[in-house]
Amino acid sequence: MAESEDFFDNLKEASNSLEMEHWSRETINHLLSNSQSIDVRILYIPTAMYALNPQSGNTPGKQRQRARADGKKRRAQLLQLLEELMFPTDGTEDEDFYGSDGNRKWNLLSVTLDLDDGSLKQHVGGYGDESLLFPEDDNAALTTWKPHIIYVEGGNTFWLQYCIEKGNYGSLIKNACITKNINDDDFASIYMGKSAGAIVAGRAVATATWKGWDDPSIVPGKGTYEDWIDSRGLEMLGDCSFFPHMSDDWVELVEEKKKNVLNRIDNDDDEEIKVICLREEDVCCVGGGRKRYFSIQSGPIPLP
């Protein structure tokens, strides 16, 4: 699932909408498909927002300290939102959320993974022997730990893609989110990407160059926008790319770039270029062969 920057605020306002209720119930059924109760494992990846700003007057150490604090705050928002979706506070005891004994079916477990150095920090939700509840390293976090949700935070898209490639995380992330055989019990994580996290989920990372918001100079050897024109993302949706923070101001730019930039990555001038433009209130959900693209405020939107 890909989303734009103000997703948390917009989702809270629309949590009772029919489309969001349907999506939430579908997600819950997916998580509980093989169990009556579950530890919901959430892997939070804030790497994009950890990128240093060469123009900042603060030291690299101070920048990292502030970025980690901000990442911790944003993760807390995510966990709070999941709590509100999973555990109703209106006094009802919905069977999707509570067992016959009245106890909650859920326990949220979360850990933060930085793709820059592979570190795991900020374990939340543990009880008993935490060594049995949390992954031992970055590889396990994306494989044997089997996270239910992989949440990739927004920030500097180029730094995020660089760290994905540097640590060879691309195949691990993609494999974690793909069910190889729909007829068996193969597990698949839910990918949630915000802003930069949405862009790298698509085919072309080049959409991050269009508005000129992200600074590529922090990446060794790829310090200009031109260096990123041919770069491919995770290609979660095949030939579809993402352009977040869409508004009426960018309509002409998007059409121009679709014609002049993305052809270089597709190598076929006759092929239709597919770009999913996400406004701040938009979400693109993909489940198996089904794709749903909708506005939290106004409902379903046709996919390109």
Stretch 99-108: mean pLDDT, rounded?
68
Bridge-based pairing of strands 106-114 and 119-124 is: antiparallel
Q: What is the predicted pLDDT for the residue at 99?
A: 62
Verdict on whether the full-model pTM lies above 0.85: no
Contact assessment for residue 181 and residue 187, using Cβ atoms and an 8 Å cutoff = no
Pick 67 or 4 by higher pLDDT. 67
Q: What is the mean pLDDT of the chain?
A: 81
pLDDT at 281: 82
Each residue of 87-103: pLDDT tens digit? 655 555 555 556 666 66
Average pLDDT (281-296) is 70
pLDDT band at 201 (very low <50, low <70, confident <90, very high): very high
- Per residue in 246-267, pLDDT (tens digit) is 999 999 999 888 877 656 655 5
Q: Looking at the chain, how many residues does it have?
A: 304
Q: What percent of the chain has pLDDT over 70?
A: 67
User: 173: buried, middle or exposed (CB in 10 Å: 19+, 13-18, 0-12)?
Assistant: buried
Residue scoring higher pLDDT (199 or 302):
199
- Write down the pLDDT at residue 16: 46
Of the candidate ranges 35-49, 127-141, 203-217, the one whose mean pLDDT is the lowest? 127-141
CB contact set of 273 (below 8 Å; sequence gap of 6+): 241, 258, 259, 262, 263, 266
Compute the CA torsion angle 179, 185, 187, 190 (nearest 10 deg).
70
Encode pLDDT of 5-43 as tens digits: 555 555 445 444 555 566 666 666 665 555 556 788 999
Helical residues (DSSP H) of 167-250, grouped into ranges: 170-176, 196-199
Is residue 109 scored above 50 in pLDDT? yes
Asked whether the predicted pLDDT for residue 184 surpasses 50, the reply is: no
